[in-house]
Chain A
């Protein structure tokens, strides 16, 4: 591996950190190796918004190699809303550029006295004043930084005003619309007075055996290009699955209270393709191009179109069937630099609380929160982004917002992270995905809804269970989590429908390994348990593995009407599959030792 550049923003000092070889072998890279590196520093006492809090921008051994969907990196640290392990995966071109600059990661600590941005140009490193950029939106900041450094080809990671104001679900953007959306690490950047990081590199990206890697890369990209799922994503974007999800009753509607949205045709990916789509965008080396470029009626500008989460969050979740408004609301969040899932979820909670009379027009700053009212939704986004009025409370996330009014149980979140838009009442595996994810209610640590739709992986033993089967699929979910952990380590997009047999060949050629699929799965399991142990050390127990009240109630309508999850049975089966201790929620000593995590076993059990 290339070194990681450590940067102390308080002192301005830098040093190169070389990851121990054993860790490279055991964890590969990305979020997995980040967990190993940060393990010791992520303590219960650590304030995630303090200067001491680390923030690690980490690539993986496949990043920038032009393998299938490998233009990605991850940002890791301690989540300001969850107080737990935080990681957020992001595409674009920044990660490959960092590797081309000679580093596999940037490890940032400390806090600058005033707003700054970093400029890494090959081996040259500068800290620059960003006082004049403070308050600028994410798009303008990228352009201004490029202009100032005189390097149009540089790639720039930025935060917007939401990160500066430490909205606890602030995101990090690169490449005009690619977001590390979840877990609020934009707020951690903001707390460090770090507005942006520009990188430019000119080196070859290291691959252990390029001669072996090249034909594998070509073959896997060719197959991926022709793959059905890739075609769906290219043709209609990630929200192309919306019609099917709605049909199954797997899409939450009106803040998770309904399972049917009659106007789904008006906002789905298919509708977008037929009406406002004017182009597609792709991350570095990606043959799928799921990114949407849209042009609204009477508008000459090309804009980023919404992906599935934004479409549901600002659409069905709020009973809004205006596709163009969804585009605007998604873009507004992007400009502030806020996660569209957490933002739309928290706004949905506000509407829900308003309907129940828990908050009134007075608390809402004079707003009448009527479902589907686009103006009201937009005003809520602005209030959150500026941390004004009720927006200041909402900016702390749905858990704290609901708790402030004494109704924490109304918030649809797990451990402080808002639930995404794949409802476990329609695709039951998501119950465990949400409840046991190391970063809160996350759909990307295990996008198990795809398995429940029918996407199996026979060679991994990930077989098909009926979409509303429950405890019997727990071990399957665990396997799927282990596998997806590998994606976050190497770092590869989960939309890459690449067979595990090909995936392991790519990893072996890139890293000089001779792994089997079983070795790969064990590495995934190792990292999953390490992240669990980090969370245990920060106070997480079995009591945290739960679902919000709304998801345990039946839908009154739609394709999953009446179905009730038996979550306790699912969780018990999951613990059995994982080898976790039922009393404490920790991985057992035996499990940790079996995974070569002896030091962690000692920390947790001695």
Chain B
């Protein structure tokens, strides 16, 4: 558990939010009896990859005021195709419909043909996507070195880099554990 705890990618903001909740619940913080990770999992169930993680991401995208503001002009859905690698034995597919700073829909492991024409299709290996989620791989590096392959309008992507980076921030903050 301690090891997993170290792998958390939590921003200062999220630490503060969680600390606030824990205080409200009158739970002693950092006492070693109840780990922070336990509470994060309970609150957001954010183990990647899982449907709960995707739901947690949806909730966070809709409640994060910074993301809501930065992404207020974004119009486009994302289809992620994560290729098997390491602990991932089968291709992982997940879908997010992002619109004007909100997440309108998510879909975990859908049939790819259900989303035949997304605004962006993003393809990466499990190793690379988890490196991004853990903050070990800069998302711009992933894109520029084609570790994260992008199908869709690169012009739109480049115009909206701040939105893309903040989407990654939110995803990192939601991710508490990698399988």
A231 on the B face (CB < 8 A): yes
Q: Is the CB of B154 within 8 A of A232?
A: yes
Q: How far is the CA of A234 from the CA of B150 in the complex (A)?
A: 14
**Does A247 lie within 8 Å of B155, measured CB to CB?**
no
Residue interface bits A248-282, CB-to-B below 8 A is 1, else 0: 00000000000000000100111001100000000
**A567 CB–B CB distance under 8 Å:** no
Contacts of B141 in A (CB 8 A): 454-456, 464
> A243 interface residue, CB < 8 Å from B?
yes
- Which residues from chain A contact B158 at a C-beta distance below 8 Å? 232, 236, 240-241, 243-244, 269-270
Query: Are B155 and A270 in contact (CB-based, < 8 A)?
Result: yes
Asked if B145 lies at the interface with its beta carbon under 8 angstroms from chain A, I say yes
In this complex, what residue of A is CB-closest to B157?
A232
CB distance from A91 to the nearest CB of B (A): 21
A354 touches B (CB below 8 Å): no
Q: Which 6 A-B pairs have the closest CB atoms?
A: A454-B140, A236-B155, A454-B141, A455-B144, A232-B154, A270-B155
Chain A neighbourhood of B155, CB < 8 A: 232, 235-236, 240, 269-270, 273-274
CB distance from B67 to the nearest CB of A (A): 16
Closest CB in chain B relative to A299 CB, distance in Å: 23
Asked if A39 is at the interface of the complex by the 8 Å CB criterion, the answer is no
**Chain A: interface residue count, which band?**
20 to 34
Name 16 interchain pairs, CB-CB below 8 A, sorted by A.
A226-B146, A228-B144, A228-B150, A231-B154, A236-B154, A236-B155, A240-B155, A240-B158, A247-B162, A265-B159, A270-B159, A454-B144, A455-B144, A456-B145, A464-B138, A497-B145
Q: How far is the CA of A268 from the CA of B141 in the complex (A)?
A: 22
Closest to B143 in A: A228
Which residues of chain B have C-beta atoms less than 8 A from A235's C-beta?
Answer: 153-155
Bound Cα distance A265, B158 (Å): 11
Interface status of A472 (Cβ within 8 A of chain B): no
Q: Does A227 contact B (CB under 8 A)?
A: yes
A227, A234, A240: the one contacting B146 at CB < 8 Å is A227
**Bound-state Cα–Cα, A92 to B37, Å:** 58
B127 contacts A by Cβ under 8 Å? no
Give B164's nearest chain A residue, CB to CB. Answer: A244
Residues of chain A lying within 8 A (CB to CB) of residue B55 = none
Is B156 close to A, CB under 8 A? yes
> Is the beta-carbon distance between A229 and B150 smaller than 8 angstroms?
no
CB neighbours (8 Å) of A125 from chain B are none
Verify B161–A244 contact, CB threshold 8 A. yes
- Distance between A251 CB and nearest chain B CB, rounded to angstroms: 13
The answer, among B140, B154, B162, for a CB contact under 8 Å with A453, is B140
The residues of A that contact B100 with a CB separation of less than 8 Å are none
**Whole-angstrom distance between the Cβ of A255 and the nearest chain B Cβ:** 25
> Nearest chain-B residue to A232 (Cβ)?
B154
The residue from B138, B139, B150, B154 contacting A240, defined by CB atoms under 8 A apart:
B154
Give Cα distance in the complex from A241 to B140, angstroms.
Answer: 12
Further 20 A-B residue pairs, CB within 8 A, beyond A229-B146, A454-B140, A454-B141: A226-B146, A228-B143, A228-B146, A228-B148, A228-B149, A228-B150, A232-B154, A232-B155, A235-B154, A236-B154, A240-B155, A240-B158, A243-B160, A244-B158, A247-B162, A268-B159, A270-B155, A274-B155, A454-B144, A497-B146
Residues of A within 8 Å of B153, CB to CB, are 235
As a 0/1 sequence over residues 450 to 476 of chain A, the CB contacts with chain B under 8 angstroms (1 = contact) are 100111100000001000000000000
Residue-wise, chain B 149-179 has the 8 Å CB interface mask toward A (1 for contact) of 1100111111111100000000000000000
Please tell me which one of the listed residues A231, A234, A247 contacts residue B161 in the complex, with CB atoms under 8 A apart: A247
> Which A402-459 residues have a C-beta within 8 angstroms of B?
450, 453-456
Q: Are A243 and B159 in contact (CB under 8 A)?
A: yes
Question: In the bound complex, what is the Cα–Cα distance between A450 and B159 (angstroms)?
Answer: 16
B134 CB to nearest A CB, Å: 15
CB distance from A314 to the nearest CB of B (A): 20
1/0 per residue A202-239: CB within 8 Å of B?
00000000000000000000000011110110111000
Chain A hits for B149, CB < 8 A = 226, 228
